[in-house]
Amino acid sequence: MPLAAVTVHWVAPEAGTMKPAIALSRPLVLSQASPSAASEGTQILFNGRTLPAVWSQWQIAGSTRTGISDAGLMQALGVELLNTEDASHQPVQWFSDPRINPLLLPTRLIGSIRYLDITDFARQMGWQMQVNGTTLQIASAIARVQSVRLGKQSWGDRIVIELDQPATWQVDQQNQEFVLTLNAQLDPSLLSPQTNPTTTPITRSPGSQLAFLLSQPAPNQTQLRLSIPLSLRPRVWSLPNPNRLIVDVRPDSLVERNIVWAPGLRWRSQILDLGGNRFPVVWLAVNPLQPGIRLKPILPNPGTMTGIASLPQTVRLAQAAAAINGGFFNRNNQLPLGAIRLDGRWLSGPILNRGAIAWNSSGAFKIDRLALQETLITSTGQRLPLTHLNSGYIQAGIARYTSDWGPTYTPLSDNEILVLVQNNRIINQQTIPTAGSQPIPIPANGYLLVLRSNRTAATSLAVGSSLRLESVTNPPDFSSYPQIVAAGPLLLQNRQIVLDAPAEKFSRAFATEKASRSAIGQAANGHLLIAAVHTDIRGVGATLTDIAQIMQQLGAINALNLDGGSSTTLYLGGQILDRPPRTVARVHNGIGIFVQPTRQLMRSEE
């Protein structure tokens, strides 16, 4: 496969240095027209080991370029993304010193995936690449682990793995076990023949309770296992001269990031101090006025309101670039509990006057408590208030279900009376004795009325009679927004904390618990702030007041709490930013961020 030579560009050096940065290929980014793709796939075979990673090849001036998603580079190869204000180039660190030779990989956004062009980087590293179907095969010299050292630091523990040359690595964390897999041979002198010829005994450092197990589970593969609390998420990073892999086990291991991932979309992470409690926070800053940026509610089963899936699954289905989990839902029947409005259609109606965020394609947003009041007017002038529209929330009274709920409605409680309305006229009335017993079709040119513990109203809804419907939101201007997601409680309005969980009918236990939190807010400049918080550095979850104060610190003037706990998930470009992938729970809906390139930016090589 032809590989272009490394080209050197002069870029602004850091203060006190006069070092050129290596820009590893032609800078091309954000092509609106689809590039000439030679091939693409979803896995890499690196030195015989299969790793999940999205990759693509394209042609530029007759030369084949190879890109791997930034998520794939981080998760499969161990490349670290560094801060940048330039979406067209991504600086990375991989057994390199960014102060001396920063590696700049050109970016290319294709659909919802941002690829980093590794063509010249691979040549510099001595990698050989070829394509076999949907697999990108990469071969490199085999590294060797020469020594392993564990030291006690004031902030925690550090493990240093010294290598004879750079090597790729992957990390996995499940329950209380952290596993680092290094694509390198383990020096035989590091193995313990007294116990197992392929495993070292547990090693402890003086004054440290940290234990680790070093093993060689397969040829050319070294594995480090740590037993640690879930609140700890070790940081793994690399250094050159000599080549070392560093594992820092500390409560404040969050890497501070400020990366312009695409025009109008910034990835941030930072530890914030709230009165002495330090919270690692990961968030996205989104400019809704940036051409090509749009937001929409996303669901795992767009044709029906029943169903849950992990946020990454839902994002892939929607082909969004980024997302955060959205509103509340019932895990048992997998139905939404709160407003979801998509393109002007109420897929699920508001409940309990809870907080919601609404927006339109012009970049206008509204964050406030939301109610929807619908009223039926019979042919005799009788007014019958409705409790809910398209809702999984059950309450005595009359609810209404349209085809936006799905093609059918399945009774949610016993002895429901279903009234079929078509073209504003009652066609049929029937009683369903048992919840969940049978799905009832919802007419496209009408709706179903569901009477729960309200037989008196049934006498006013005789077959053949006509109906009129009044519908109004409170506040009224909510009805003008085509996209809405509700959750709650409301956190901020006009920069002030307005948290009032009882007013939104949240329980006292919910209002006071310490848990993982998701939130969305709007800054004074109109940008959206989409944040995820799990625990402070002690491992203690965040209260609603904590997340309100965090959103204030991030610069929000209005903010809304989203579904939290195990649902909290923040996603960008193929990877989960805030938690180990194995811990992700299934959710009903989310808020998707779509990035559509609007122009082609090219710079000629200098």
What's the chain's average pLDDT? 89
Region of poorest pLDDT, from 16-30, 37-51, 365-379, 550-564 = 16-30
∠ CA(259), CA(262), CA(264), 5° rounding?
95
Q: What is the pLDDT of residues 165-203, one digit of tens each?
A: 999 999 998 778 899 999 999 887 776 544 444 444 434
* pTM of the model as a whole: 0.90
- Residue 291 in tokens: 């051409």
Those residues with Cβ within 8 angstroms of residue 565's Cβ, 6 or more apart along the chain or in another chain: 515, 516
What is residue 491's three-state secondary structure?
Answer: strand
Region of poorest pLDDT, from 3-17, 50-64, 319-333, 584-598 = 3-17
Those residues with Cβ within 8 angstroms of residue 363's Cβ, 6 or more apart along the chain or in another chain: 288, 289, 526
Q: What is the pLDDT of residues 285-314, one digit of tens each?
A: 999 999 999 999 999 998 999 999 999 999
Supply the DSSP string of 425-447, one letter for each residue.
Answer: EEEEEEEE-STTS--EEPPTTEE
φ, ψ for residue 124 (rounded to 5)? -65, -35
Length reported for the chain: 606
**β 135-139/37-46 pair status:** parallel
- Looking at the chain, the whole-number percentage of residues with pLDDT higher than 90 is 78
Q: What is the pLDDT of residues 438-448, one digit of tens each?
A: 999 999 999 99
Note the pLDDT of residue 233.
77
User: Higher pLDDT residue, 491 or 175?
Assistant: 491
Beta strands in 143-220, from DSSP E residues, in sequence order: 143-153, 156-163, 169-174, 177-182, 184-186, 212-218
Of 222, 217, 254, nearest to 235 (Cα)?
A: 254
Burial tier of 341 (Cβ tally within 10 Å: 0-12, 13-18, 19+): buried
| 370, amino acid identity | L
User: Higher pLDDT residue, 53 or 22?
Assistant: 53
233, 347, 404, 578 from 268: Cα distances, Å: 18, 32, 36, 11
What does the buried/exposed string (b/e) look like for 168-190 if buried means 16 or more CB atoms within 10 Å of the residue's CB? bbbbebeeeebebbbbbbbbeee
H/E element holding 80?
A: strand 80-81
Note the pLDDT of residue 317.
96
| CA 60 and chain centroid, separation | 32
d(CA 230, CA 12): 41
User: Higher pLDDT residue, 62 or 286?
Assistant: 286
H/E element holding 8?
A: strand 7-9
d(CA 280, CA 606): 41
Of 322, 401, 396, nearest to 578 (Cα)?
A: 322
Q: Check if the beta carbon of residue 435 is closer than 8 Å to that of residue 412.
A: yes
d(CA 534, CA 298): 23
pLDDT interval class at 420 (50, 70, 90): very high
Those residues with Cβ within 8 angstroms of residue 164's Cβ, 6 or more apart along the chain or in another chain: 143, 144, 146, 243
Note the pLDDT of residue 209.
60
User: Higher pLDDT residue, 152 or 531?
Assistant: 531
12, 118, 383 from 125: Cα distances, Å: 25, 10, 75
Of 338, 295, 310, nearest to 487 (Cα)?
A: 338
What pairs with residue 137 in β-bridges? 45, 130
Q: What is the pLDDT of residues 554-572, one digit of tens each?
A: 999 999 999 999 999 999 9
| 141, amino acid identity | A
Q: Which residue has the tokens 């017993």?
A: 437
What is residue 93's three-state secondary structure?
Answer: strand
d(CA 470, CA 490): 27
d(CA 417, CA 343): 30
User: Higher pLDDT residue, 554 or 209?
Assistant: 554
Q: What is the pLDDT of residues 105-153, one digit of tens each?
A: 999 998 899 999 999 999 999 999 999 999 999 999 999 999 998 888 8
Note the pLDDT of residue 211.
75
d(CA 121, CA 4): 10
d(CA 370, CA 349): 10
